[in-house]
Amino acid sequence: MSSAIQSSSQPTLLVTGGAGFIGSCFVRQRLAQDDVRVVVLDKLTYAGNLDSLAPVSDDPNFAFEQAGIEDAGEVRRILDQYQPVQIVNFAAESHVDRSIDGPAEFVMTNVLGTFYLLEEARRYYSERSATQQAEFRFLHVSTDEVYGSLGPTGKFTEQTKYAPNSPYSASKASSDHFVRAYHHTYGLPVLITNCSNNYGPYQFPEKLIPLMILNAIAGKPLPLYGDGQNVRDWLFVEDHCQAIWRVLQAGEIGEVYNIGGDAERTNLQIVHTICDVVEELVPNLDHRPRELIQFVQDRPGHDRRYAIDASKIQAQLGWQPSHDFETALRTTVRWYLDNSLWTQRVADGSYAGQRLGIGAN
């Protein structure tokens, strides 16, 4: 699927991890809404799927390159070949439970991979003209999990000190620090976004919401870790991608922006809502989804609560989420009902819905 984009005056974005859940949404959104060209650089791990880019695969403004961000030679070739004006780094190992079972991959991609990508971005930037340098941005997509766990009150702000608790969040925290350092030390024009939990179409079904949707439809157990009272702050993936685009266009170089949708829910509330929506949307179910809920062994080091204070991006960049949680969750359930082929194709490898994160594999 590698193809050369024809030269033109349209700006080219390099999107790493663009075959994953959030990255593919960003790519589909940009090609639908903006006059840009997009090159996706993705290693196609278990979480990366070209099926998620199928809606844009014939778009002449789209190109795909299979490579790892840690592969400096390939990154260099791709930068030199496509000459992007900006880089958005979504590429990462993203699942907390997998980071408990096997942290090494998280260090390799999230820490070392980001480092090599930054090195190549620094070289590329240094070879740009002054006009190109003025436009260049390296936007690093990160997570609220770097801030650790909250008690019953309070929210994460951009000033909250880093306190990562899982190998995943420690690796993301490390990558954030490298990105920051490349700005302060080398003058690379970087931006960092820290977002709360995303949900929506095309999410790999190891994560809470798609796993529960698919199991509720199939009549399989709905495993809630611990007491089900852990809280996450949920944001529809399309709102996250619009926020990233806004930061890329108007964010102040070197700044951090927290992104969140003000939609705190306990995991039990989420699963109850999913059960009720599935029951409503699927006629003639032969089971009651709520009866499938099982409380299972807790995740080791399970963060209790996340909540984002998004007032900075709202006040300074005018971004607001445009989807409310219950409506967008329904849209998501409907999408999984209508796209069972996507689910079969992405999960036909080693992952078949089994419990991860307790060394049971």
User: Which residues are the active-site residues?
Assistant: 144-145, 168
Q: Is residue 284 packed enough to be buried (19+ CB in 10 Å), middle (13-18) or exposed (0-12)?
A: exposed
Tokens of 61: 């403004």
- 8 A C-beta contact, residue 143 and residue 192: no
23 binds, among ligand NAD, ligand TDX, none (CB under 5 to 8 A by kind): ligand NAD
The total of other beta-carbon atoms located within 10 Å of residue 334's CB is 14
Considering only 16, 99, 165, 314, the residue that binds ligand NAD (CB under 6 A) is 16
User: How many angstroms separate the CA atoms of 145 and 176, rounded?
Assistant: 12
Give the whole-angstrom CA distance, residue 312 versus residue 299: 32
- Phi then psi for residue 173, to 5 deg, are -60, -45
Closer to ligand NAD at the Cβ: 198 or 314?
Answer: 198
Q: Pick from 5, 13, 14, 22: which binds ligand NAD (CB under 6 A)?
A: 22
- Min CB(141)–ligand NAD separation in Å: 4
How many Å from the N-terminal Cα to the C-terminal Cα in the chain?
34
Q: Does 69 bind ligand NAD (CB under 6 A)?
A: yes
Among 224, 244, 259, 275, binds ligand TDX (CB under 6 A): 224
List the interface residues with ligand NAD, window 244-273 (CB under 6 A): none
In the list ligand TDX, ligand NAD, none, the entry touching 44 (Cβ below 5 to 8 angstroms by class) is ligand NAD
At residue 33, what are phi and psi to the nearest 5 degrees? -110, -20
Count the residues of the shown chain that bind ligand TDX, applying the rule CB under 6 A: 16
Binding partner at 264 among ligand NAD, ligand TDX, none, C-beta below 5 to 8 Å by kind: none
From the list ligand NAD, ligand TDX, none, partner contacted by residue 202 (C-beta under 5 to 8 A by kind): none
The answer to whether 211 contacts ligand TDX (rule: CB under 6 A) is: yes
For helices 21-33 and 237-250, the axis angle rounded to 10 degrees is: 60
Helix (H, G, I), strand (E, B) or coil at 1: coil
CA torsion, ordered 169, 175, 180, 181, to nearest 10 deg: 130
CB closer to ligand TDX, 96 vs 274: 96
Interacting residues with ligand TDX between 79 and 108 (CB under 6 A): 94-96
Residues that bind ligand NAD (CB under 6 A): 16-17, 19-23, 42-45, 47-48, 68-70, 90-94, 109, 113, 141-143, 172, 195, 197-198, 204
